[in-house]
Amino acid sequence: MASRIVMSKLSPTMEEGRVLKWVKQEGESVDSGDVVVEIETDKATMEVEAMGSGVLRKVLVEENATVPTGTLLGVIAAEDEDISSILQEAAPAAAATTAPATESGARAALPDQPASPARAGDGGRIKASPLARRMASQSGIRLDQVRGSGPGGRIIKRDIEAAMGAGLAAPTAAPATPAPEIEYDIPYQRVELSQLRKAIARNLVQSLGPIPHFFLTREIDMGEVLKLRAELNDALLESGVRIGVNDILVKTAAQALTEHPDVNAAFAGDHIRRFTRVDIGIAVAVPDGLITPVLRDVAHMRLREISEASREMIARARDRKLAPEEYQGATFTISNLGMYGVDEFTAVINPPAATILAVGATQERPVVVDGAVEIRPRMRVTLSCDHRAVDGAMGAEFLATFAAMLENPLRQLL
């Protein structure tokens, strides 16, 4: 099957790119993964790899030419394949079909692509040494978040040690700093730690320890959202599906993250992982703590699907029936304490994500609209950011988009 080589948008700010050098020439055979062309962006030089095997049939953009992102640069296809229809395609259409942008040399951590050769693909076997496996499992490190440096991309001891250093886990942090024995003569009841409570302690100590948090708070007018929700639920009356405000927040966050991919990220020691899929965790209170079921690829889910999936997962979360892969590895998390009447709060980042959004109650508040005081439903949200990956302005821009989308839901259709 023919595959296109396209000037991909390699960074959020990239509008155009220059073809630096064709590593493969027209007519040369190409294997999937071969570097075909080098391109230069506003920030760096990147190597573009072939997504398929065959022959480089056509070079459409000469070396040193600068073209907008999305432009078709060349076509790889079988020797006798008809590529005329591809050549006729409009460039922007090709852009839409490009693979997610990857930084050259650091194609780590696309949740839906092999992060390293260690992984054979979704559901595939992760190559890791027995020692690395045991270290990872005792440290709470997910092997699929570790890049293997051993033969054939095998994950070995030093990779896990690096992951520990990078703060992908630090299990001993909690046990290593036990609370001092308090010997006051006050009666108390000793409550043993459940496994879940231990895990929470471990993760959060790890979080507030090595992760430098900062917080951004913003108030959002929820009038339009409440109206939209009512309308949608009227329309869905017969189906039995009910859209919650939280579902709209999840959907909107996914949309906003798509526009601000630098916030949909994680700090991973020697690099930042900018995830190319939006997986949103929803913090759910359960009798002994909290758990965060994760909705995968939310940007491509419809509101109704989000509503159904989250309802189903939250129910299973409360029954403790989620599999680990269903509550780990969110790229963004929403924690909503509005139902408890909390006005605003700050949430602790749950690694590996770099951000978490704390949502307070929507309350009637007097605000000044067009010079007059009006009573409006207002909601305060606080974004906690890992400063190693996300800077203040980046977080603020994301929040601005998020707020604008909620205040004018139609904007999401753009």
Partner 1 sequence: MREGIKGSYDLLVIGAGPGGYVAAIRAAQLGMDVACVESESREGGLGGVCLNWGCIPTKAMLESAALARRIKDDAADFGVKVKAYELDMAAATGRSRQVSDRLTKGIKFLFDRNGVMPIFGRAKLAGDKKVTVELKSGERTTVSTSNIIIATGSRPKTFPGFEFDGERVISSREALELKRLPGHIVVVGAGSIGMEFADIFNAFGANVTVVEILPQLLPLEDTEIAGVVERSFKKRGIKVKKKTGVKSLAKLDKKLQVTVEGSSGEEVIECDALLMAVGRVPNVEDLGLETAGVKLDDQGWIQTDGFCLTTTEGIYAIGDVAGAPMLAHKASHEGRIAAEHIAGQPTHPITPYDVPSCTYCHPEVASIGRTEKQAKENGFDVTVGKFPFSANGRALAAGSPDGMVKIVADAKYREVLGVHMVGHHVTELVAEAGLGRALESTVDEIAATVHAHPTLSETLMEAALAALGRAIHI
Residue numbers annotated as active site: 387
* Token duo for residue 384: 């906690």
CB-wise, 175 or 392, nearer to partner 1?
Answer: 175
**Rounded CA Rg of the chain:** 24
Residue 156 binds to partner 1 (criterion: CB under 8 A): yes
Positions in 113-142 near partner 1 (CB under 8 A): 129-132, 134-135, 138
DSSP string, 78-133: -TT---HHHHHS-HHHHHHTPPPP--TT-----TTS-SSTTB-STTPPBPB-HHHH
Q: Token pair 């409550």 is at which residue?
A: 191
- Taking the least distance from each CB to partner 1, the nearer of 125 and 302 is 125
The answer to whether residue 157 forms part of the interface with partner 1 (CB under 8 A) is yes
Least distance CB 165 / partner 1 (angstroms): 16
Q: If binding is defined by CB under 8 A, does position 173 make contact with partner 1?
A: no
Furthest-apart CA pair in the chain: how many Å? 87
Q: Determine, following the binding rule CB under 8 A, whether residue 33 of this chain makes contact with partner 1.
A: no
Q: Partners of 221 in the beta sheet?
A: 378
Which of these, 220, 136, 245, 142, lies nearest to 402 by C-alpha position? 220
Question: Would you say 154 and 128 are in contact if contact means Cβ atoms under 8 Å apart?
Answer: yes
Name which of 148 and 360 has its Cβ closer to partner 1: 148
Minimum distance of partner 1 from residue 173's CB (angstroms): 15
* Shorter beta-carbon distance to partner 1: residue 171 or 329: 171
CB of 138 to partner 1, least distance (A): 7
Beta bridge partners of 76: 3, 56
Q: In the bound complex, what is the minimum distance in angstroms from residue 156's beta carbon to partner 1?
A: 6
- Of residues 327 through 356, those in contact with partner 1 by CB under 8 A are none
233 binds partner 1 (CB under 8 A): no
Residue 25 is encoded by which pair of tokens? Answer: 């020439």
How far apart (Å, rounded) are the C-alpha atoms in residues 8 and 48? 9
**# residues contacting partner 1 (CB under 8 A):** 9
In the complex, least distance from residue 367 CB atom to partner 1, rounded to whole angstroms = 57
Residue 365 structure tokens: 């508040």
Cα pseudo-dihedral 382, 388, 394, 396, rounded to 10:
20
For partner 1, the closer CB: 21 or 134: 134
Q: Compute the least distance from the CB of residue 157 to partner 1, in Å.
A: 6
Helices within 188-298 (DSSP H only): 195-208, 223-235, 245-259
In the complex with partner 1, the residue whose CB is nearer, 157 or 316, is 157
Nearest to 132 by CA among 144, 115, 120, 121: 144
Task: List residues binding partner 1 (CB under 8 A).
Answer: 129-132, 134-135, 138, 156-157
